[in-house]
Amino acid sequence: MRPEFKLWIENEEGEQIIGEGLISLLKMIEKTGSINKASDELNMSYRTAWGKIEKIEKRLGEKLIKRKTGGAGVGGSELTEKGRTFMNKYHIFSEGITQCVNEDFARIFADYLQS
């Protein structure tokens, strides 16, 4: 047995700011240098990916992605410093929560885990 959970962060109005889906998108943009390539890798339309990014940037009041314009092979997208920092802080927070959940689970369900 093991615990499973989903983690996301909301604003005061209950609107999602960030969760695993957006983290995956940000990671893929960082890896590929392109919203288009990232959305293809995640089987998501470009419009959906861009819409998610715009919605979160609006809710955060921060730009997460910087678009580079240009001709073929020159354009693309990259995470802003704020975007990279936000993603890294989410990872740190998520890892801490996961550790707490696993420790509490092991303590609380210890008698079931020894069987």
Give me the pLDDT at residue 66, please. Answer: 93
Instruction: Residue 102: name the closest of 28, 3, 11 by CA.
Output: 3
Rounded Cα gap, residues 66 and 19, in angstroms: 20
Rounded Cα gap, residues 33 and 53, in angstroms: 15
Give me the pLDDT at residue 74, please. Answer: 67
Give me the pLDDT at residue 115, please. Answer: 60
Residue 63 token pair: 């730009």
Give me the pLDDT at residue 43, please. Answer: 96
> Which residues is 10 bridged to in the sheet?
16
Domains (ranges, CATH) in the chain?
A: 8-113 (1.10.10.10)
Give me the pLDDT at residue 99, please. Answer: 97
Q: What value, to the nearest 5°, has the Cα angle with vertex 95 and ends 62 and 109?
A: 140
For residues 82 and 64, the answer to whether their CB atoms sit within 8 Å is yes
Rounded Cα gap, residues 90 and 23, in angstroms: 8
Q: What is the pLDDT along the chain (115 residues), one digit of tens a residue?
A: 899 999 999 999 999 999 999 999 999 999 999 999 999 999 999 999 999 999 999 999 999 999 887 666 667 899 999 999 999 999 999 999 999 999 999 999 998 887 6
Amino acid at 41: E
